[in-house]
Every structure is written in structure tokens, then in C-alpha cells.
């Protein structure tokens, strides 16, 4: 099964891109798994391979998670290109999985951010180097806590009653087409399941 999976990913990377920086390839597994993920085609082969390798690692991680013996799991992956401009490529992978007998399905969003000049992941500490505007913002746990609570009030979102502040910034963040920085809070992170995933525009 895994040999088929890896072969499918390699085949997807061999198909030329004729429409832009990324293209969609769909792969189905036993009728339960459908992963749709991007492949990147750019002029620098080294950078291209570096980015695609990281994407493949994320896909493989989900595959290994859901393909477990004695557990019947349905899973799906989709993606969105949130930003593809000014040397920034931001991809958000949406991963949905349901284990037989579970109370409800789970959804996760994983953000991947790349510098398209080098293929290296963009980290929060890199922001001031990307733009001086980011250096002016309060991207600290305290600052994002204030923005999160304000967002919750304005959108009638009930955070956990015992939630006081963030101890650290969320690991998942991305840039949108306007280069706003968004933080992603997964289900159960700061609010009950029913609230869903919280996407906080931290630039506003």
C-alpha cells in the first residue's frame, strides 16, 4: 500500500505545471482516503524540490496516522494557496479524519510557509526580515491573546471559561493575499469543538 502511495506522489511531481506555481493532483486510497495536495513548479529546481519535499512529508504524516491496523478510518486532505507573491508561498492543508465509533470527525489545518527564493520555511522570527511592517506589530502571546479575545467578543465565540492567556504563539500561521498574518487555533485549542477552527487575522 505504501509503495503505491509513494509512487503516486512521485508521479504527481513529474507532471509539468502549465497554469502557475502550483497544481492539484488527487490520489485515492481504498475508497476511504482522498488526499489532494499541491506540487510546486518554479525555475529553481533545488528550491522546487525543497518545497515539494516538505509538502510530501506532511502528506505522509497524515497517511501514516490514518493507516493503522485494526482501526477503520476515513480521511481527506484538501488545500488552499493563501499567498503566492513577493517571494512568499503560504499553503493551508485541511485534514479531515473520522475513526469508526468516534463521536464526531476531527479537522486540522496545517499551514506551510516558504520563501520561494530559497525554499526554506518561513518562521515567526523571520518576519522583521520580510517586512519592517511586521516588526511594528505585537506578535507576542500577550498581544495575540488580546486580539483573540476581541475577535471572540465581536463574533459571539465562547472561549473556554478558564482560558486566561496564551503561553506561546500557535504553531500554525499563514499569510493571506494582502500579506496579513493569520494564526490558526485548532479545535479544542482555546474553545469547545462546536466552535470549530479559529482563523485569527493578527494584522488587523
What sign does the dihedral 135-138-141-144 (CA atoms) show? negative
Q: How confident is the model at residue 142 (pLDDT cuts 50, 70, 90)?
A: very high
Mean pLDDT of 120-133: 86
Task: Output the nine-digit C-alpha cell for 104.
Answer: 464526531
Query: The pTM is what?
Result: 0.82
Q: Are 34 and 26 in contact (CB under 8 A)?
A: yes
Which of 161, 124, 165 is CA-nearest to residue 148?
Answer: 165
Mean local confidence (pLDDT), 37-43: 87
Residues in the chain: 204
Q: What is the pLDDT of residues 3-34, one digit of tens each?
A: 444 444 433 333 333 334 555 455 544 456 78
Q: What is the pLDDT of residues 68-84, one digit of tens each?
A: 777 677 888 899 999 99
Q: Within a 13 Å sphere around the CA of 163, how many CA atoms are in the beta-carbon half?
A: 17
- Cβ neighbourhood burial of 112 (10 Å; 0-12, 13-18, 19+): buried
Mean pLDDT of 126-137: 81
pLDDT exceeding 90 applies to what percent of the chain? Answer: 51
Name beta bridge partners: 79.
Answer: 93
Report the candidate in 108, 124, 115 with the shortest Cα–Cα distance to residue 90. Answer: 115
Place of cell 475577535: 151
Domains of the chain: 1-121 (3.30.565.40), 123-204 (3.90.640)
Amino acid at each position: 500500500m505504501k509503495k503505491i502511495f509513494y509512487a503516486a506522489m512521485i508521479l504527481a511531481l513529474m507532471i509539468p505545471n502549465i497554469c502557475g506555481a502550483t497544481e492539484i493532483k488527487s490520489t485515492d486510497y481504498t475508497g476511504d482516503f482522498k488526499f489532494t495536495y499541491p506540487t510546486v513548479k518554479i525555475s529553481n529546481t533545488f528550491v522546487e524540490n525543497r518545497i515539494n519535499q516538505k509538502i510530501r512529508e506532511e502528506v505522509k504524516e497524515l497517511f501514516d496516522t490514518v493507516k493503522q491496523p485494526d482501526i477503520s478510518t476515513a480521511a481527506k486532505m484538501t488545500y488552499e494557496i493563501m499567498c503566492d507573491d513577493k517571494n512568499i508561498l503560504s499553503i493551508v492543508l485541511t485534514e479531515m479524519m473520522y475513526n469508526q465509533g468516534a463521536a464526531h470527525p476531527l479537522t486540522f489545518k496545517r499551514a506551510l510557509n516558504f520563501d520561494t527564493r530559497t525554499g526554506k520555511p518561513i518562521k515567526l522570527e523571520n518576519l522583521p526580515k520580510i517586512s519592517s511592517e511586521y516588526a511594528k506589530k505585537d506578535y507576542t502571546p500577550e498581544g495575540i491573546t488580546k486580539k483573540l479575545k476581541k475577535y471572540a467578543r465581536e463574533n459571539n465565540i465562547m472561549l473556554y471559561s478558564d482560558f486566561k492567556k496564551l503561553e506561546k504563539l500557535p504553531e500554525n500561521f499563514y499569510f493571506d493575499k494582502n500579506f496579513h498574518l493569520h494564526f490558526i487555533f485548532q479545535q479544542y485549542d482555546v474553545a469547545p469543538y462546536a466552535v470549530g477552527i479559529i482563523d485569527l487575522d493578527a494584522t488587523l
